Amino acid sequence: MGKDEIVAEKITLGLLKRRKQMGRPFAALTCYDYAMAVLLQEAGIECILVGDSLAQVVLGHPTTWQARLDIMLTLTAAVRRGAPQAYLVGDMPFLSYQINTEEAIRHAGRFLQEAGCDAVKFELSGADLDLVKALSRAGIPVMAHLGYKPQYAGRLDSVVQARTADQARQLLVDAEAMVDAGACSILLECVTACAARAVTERVCVPVIGCGSGPYCDGQVLVLHDVLGLPGAQKVKFCREFVSLTDPIRQAVETYCREVRQGTFPDDAHSYHMKPDELPDGVGEPTCRPEPQKPPA
């Protein structure tokens, strides 16, 4: 499926399942604003995740815990307006679903009603099967986030998950149980490639890998890591496909210099009155006043 074909139709769960069955991987990225969403859709992205990582890369916090539900909903809705054809996944922030099932359903439903999401992602474990069942009964398409879970980082011994055979078997059990409970897709973060392959081959739903090797049905990275923007992670599974930091900084430096030198805005970037509309005694300026020199 080429870029023109991708952007010409709405990406649905059914289409992603067909890609899985055909062995054709699909691409996903995080995104947090309208302008970037427009570019991602124009580039042919199939799936966009508005992750709680926005707390770090957009808001400058040290963890994802500071992502609030109202901020997540506002920015997710902006991404939907920029990329109406992408398969859009909203990320349930910390404490938006852990307190009780009723709150989880209500908050997840807002991602569908207010932000236009196609699915909602939850960081889950085998203890959350009843929650997944309740969400599914309520009509919430659940993406089950397994493996490394940033919201629970303080309780994990290691970033990399499923290093041992027992851990890999448990991951597979959890993944199959999530699908049986109604999850429509799975995200595996920082899982060993062998374990991720086993999960991908055994479950019938799309599996998206984040630092989990090449065998998943799709891959997702944080956009800031891909573009080399401030806040990018320096971890093994991330790759900087381009560095935009210097071009952006240089563009702003040039703007600042031209404003200070009085060369911008020039005549071409100014609005003018018609000559016969000028008040008596007022003429269009013919030159810009000399900029004031800073005190010595």
Q: Which residues are catalytic?
A: 189
Task: Kindly state the tokens that stand for 138.
Answer: 């309520």
Rg of the chain (C-alpha set): 24
Cβ atoms of 196 and 171 closer than 8 Å? no
Task: Output the DSSP codes for 226-252.
Answer: HHT-TT----TT---S---HHHHHHHH
User: Which tokens belong to 210?
Assistant: 């984040």
Cα distances from 245 to residues 37, 59, 235, 242, in angstroms, run 19, 17, 18, 9
- The pair of structure tokens assigned to 72 is 């997540």
Could you tell me if 169 and 115 are in contact, meaning their C-beta atoms sit under 8 angstroms apart?
no
The helix (H) or strand (E) run that includes residue 218 is strand 218-221
Residue with tokens 């007022």: 282
